[in-house]
Amino acid sequence: MTQTQTATKVVTFEEFIQWYPDNSPVRYELHNGVIIEMTPPVGKHEEIKGFLTTKLVIEYSGLNLPYFIPNQAIVKPPEGESGYLPDVLILNRPCLTSESLWTKSSTITQGSSIPLVIEVVSQNWRDDYYKKLADYEEMGIPEYWIVDYAAFGARKFIGDPKVPTFSLYELIDGEFQVSQFRGNDCIVSPTFPDLKMTANQIFQAGEVIED
């Protein structure tokens, strides 16, 4: 999603939660103490998000895993005053008993509660590849997907020439290691090893493919 800064005043995470309007049609994130208004995503972004959500629900349901995907939950990194609303967030229900902010503000602070987090890249690609990548790693989230369907990211992230790229970051010894998938490459996920899905199936979500 693209974004606009709503104010220059720096606020704490607690102030952000208290300020957040109830039932707001507009989504907001907190980036280093600055409230950011997330502009409505384009249709392609939502097609991919919906496709991945459906695929993953089928996957973890078939494995009888105690996972669910919330409609809206905030991920708060341990350091600084930030709070993110990922495009797709899988939560491990039993772990929520250790989340002190869950019942009050639907907030997750521990990486152990999050088997997988996904960001679908829009014009604000720097957030996904820099800020959120670093914070999700710091939290200890085991798996992070960046779906760059329109090749928005810099060449140092997705290569040259720039083409649609699916980047899978796996946490190994406390650091993210990346595997990348393009075209008809089959996604290889540590969290869902039996997942059958290619990069193109994700990038082409919602499109009518002619034979």
What is the C-alpha separation between 100 and 3, in angstroms, rounded? 29
Answer whether 49's CB lies under 8 Å from 87's CB. yes
pTM: 0.93
Rounded Cα–Cα distance for residues 126 and 47 (Å): 22
Quote the CA–CA distance of 146 and 166 in Å, as a whole number.
Answer: 6
pLDDT one-digit tens code per residue, 41-96: 899 999 999 999 999 999 999 999 999 999 999 999 998 899 999 999 999 999 99
Residue 131's alpha-carbon distances to 43, 72, 74, 138, in angstroms, are 25, 20, 15, 11
Cα–Cα distance measured from residue 13 to residue 211, given in angstroms and rounded to the nearest whole number: 51
The residue among 34, 33, 37, 9 whose CA lies nearest residue 21 is 37
Are the C-beta atoms of 93 and 30 separated by less than 8 Å?
no
Class of domain 42-203: alpha beta
Question: Residue 8: pLDDT above 70?
Answer: no
Rounded CA gap, 32 and 21, in Å? 20
Q: CB–CB of 73/108 below 8 Å? A: yes
Domain boundaries, the chain: 42-203
Distances, alpha carbon 145 to alpha carbons 12, 23, 202, in Å: 28, 28, 12
pLDDT-based confidence at residue 1 (cuts at 50, 70, 90): very low
Each residue's pLDDT tens digit, 91-150: 999 999 999 999 999 999 999 999 999 999 988 899 999 999 999 999 999 999 999 999
Q: Could you give the 3-state DSSP secondary structure of residue 201?
A: helix
The DSSP bridge pattern shows strands 88-92 and 74-75 to be unpaired
